[in-house]
Structure 1
Amino acid sequence: MIDHVRDLASVRDATDRLLTAAAKQNNDSTAAPSRLPGWTRGHVLAHLARNADALVNVLAGRPMYVSAEARDADIERDAPRPLAEQLDDVRQSMARFEAQAALPADWSRTITMRNGVTDSASRVPFRRWVEVELHHVDLGTGYELEDLPAEFLQREAVFLTARFTGSPGVPPTRITDGTHTWSTGGEGTPEVTVSGPAPDVVGWLSGRRDGSALTAEGGLLPTLPSL
């Protein structure tokens, strides 16, 4: 069962780690490229702030973003700001997210994300946790996939393998980190078994590593669709 209260605490901890690490940077390093193609570190920080506000909208029953164009424009607008403004925005948007999450609500209700994706409201805090942890890695300031909490890696692997389940372009695949096992891809008996450490598994599933550190048995390492 999803524990949204516990996940909110995990989001808080992850946000504190990110803010502490980002505060060691300066305006020049914020303008430097992140690990996401075409985005500076400022873009990543701006996205994190606007994503928190977007999830406030989701929990309040409003559209996540006015439009895809507005989302992109907001990130471009906010990306060049000085580091202090970026950090304050991430901090304040997180406070707004927590305030919305603290309101009495039916956490079993269905909410709508971007592109019409639906989910349980109870999963929204975990979705925010994913944003904070993975984009902390994307900043490229020393926080790596290996630094992610073990619980997070396991749950993110569950979440991402579910995303690719039923994908016609992905063969039935078994994935293991040596402790946990997941299945993804098309229907049928798994043709390929992919194994490796949890950080490399999540890196591959999330498009942050090419999978070269993983072992594929029974066939080639599947090519995954973009998230």
Structure 2
Amino acid sequence: MKEIAPTRDSFQEIAAAAGRLLSGLTGLHDTDVPKPSRLPGWTRGHVLSHLARQAPALERLLEWARTGVETPQYANRGARNAEIEAGAHRPAAVQLAAVRESSAHFQHVIETLPAAAWRATIRPFTGELCTPQRILVIRLRELELHHVDLDIGYGWDDIPASARQIILADVLGYYAEADGVPDFTLRETGGDVLGRFGTGGPVVTGSAANALAWLAGRSGGTGLTPAAGLPALPPWL
């Protein structure tokens, strides 16, 4: 699974993603919160509640790394879902404040985490053993993908190339280890091979943005060729 080093550049990548999200939320009204997001079954309020609560959940893993005391990200999936539901129906101003405050606190935590803690072994909710360097990828991925999911004018092409490259590598890494992935090659239009699975199968071609949308389960393959007969991928996460 993808990890990135805890450098000034990676910290800035996360801060910039949070800044783009917060900027996009400034015009949000109370009537916008209960409207559907692009995620089936989730309103915009659910997405915002998740973003606000995910930051402290990830901080629990960083505390595990810092102290050596096992501190799970969530007690269980039910507890995670209950947290999201509890905050999903709050007014827009409250939602925005929660996302802003949790993002700022998370930024402080990663920028002050001791060097030794970045080499510790932890286990996120998804089950893999990793170092806290993976938490940087997870937070960047969640900020960018859920910004698109909110359906507030931010699209796949708006994700900066530097962030998209990290997220795409993470999603491709997931499929490299997943069961039931069919043989295919993913190639960027006019460019490099993004990923190769197995030894045969079709060549799927398109922009990196459209490829990410498809791999992340947010698109049926819009902008990719062949338009018909794309491989059937197992669910991501």
Q: What TM-score do the two structures reach when normalised by structure 2?
A: 0.88
Q: Which residue of 2 aligns with 1:139?
A: 150
CA displacement at 1:184 relative to structure 2: 4.5
Superposed CA offset, 1:150-181 (max 9, x none): 12222222211111114342223211113332
1:100 equivalenced with 2:109 (yes/no):
yes
Give the letter for the 2:143 counterpart.
V
Q: Percent identity at matched positions?
A: 38
Q: Distance in 2 between matches of 1:212 and 1:136?
A: 19
For the residue of structure 2 that corresponds to 1:183, the secondary structure is strand
Q: Against the structure 1 CA distance between its residues 31 and 136, is the aligned structure 2 distance closer, same or farther, given a 3 Å change threshold? A: same
TM-score (norm 1): 0.91
Deviation of 1:104 after TM superposition, in Å, equals: 1.1
- Equivalent residue number for residue 53 of structure 1: 56
1:181 is aligned to 193
Query: In the alignment, is residue 154 of structure 1 matched against residue 150 of structure 2?
Result: no
- 3-state DSSP of counterpart to 2:211: helix
Q: In the superposition, relative to structure 1, how do residues 157 and 43 fare at CA in structure 2: closer, same or farther (>3 Å)?
A: same
Match of 1:24 in 2: 27
Match of 1:43 in 2: 46
Residue 217 (structure 2) pairs with residue 207 (structure 1)? yes
- For the residue of structure 1 that corresponds to 2:203, the secondary structure is strand
What is the CA distance between 1:31 and its match in structure 2?
1.5
Tell me how far 1:119 sits from its aligned partner: 2.1
For the residues of structure 1 that align with 2:122 and 2:193, how far apart are their CA atoms? 29
User: RCO (CA 8 Å, sep 6+): is it higher in 1 or 2?
Assistant: 2
Q: Which runs of 5+ in 2 are unaligned?
A: 65-70
**1:9-67 CA distances to partner (integer Å, 9 max, x unpaired)?**
11111111111111111000111111111111111010001111111011111100121
Question: Is the partner of 1:174 in helix, strand or coil?
Answer: strand
- How many residue pairs were aligned? 224
RMSD of aligned Cα (Å): 1.9
Say whether residues 1:72 and 2:81 are aligned partners: yes
2-structure distance, mates of 1:198, 1:28: 34
Paired AA for residue 207 in structure 1: G
Q: Structure 2: how far apart are the matches of 1:60 and 1:93?
A: 15
**Bigger CA drift: 9-18 or 208-217?**
208-217
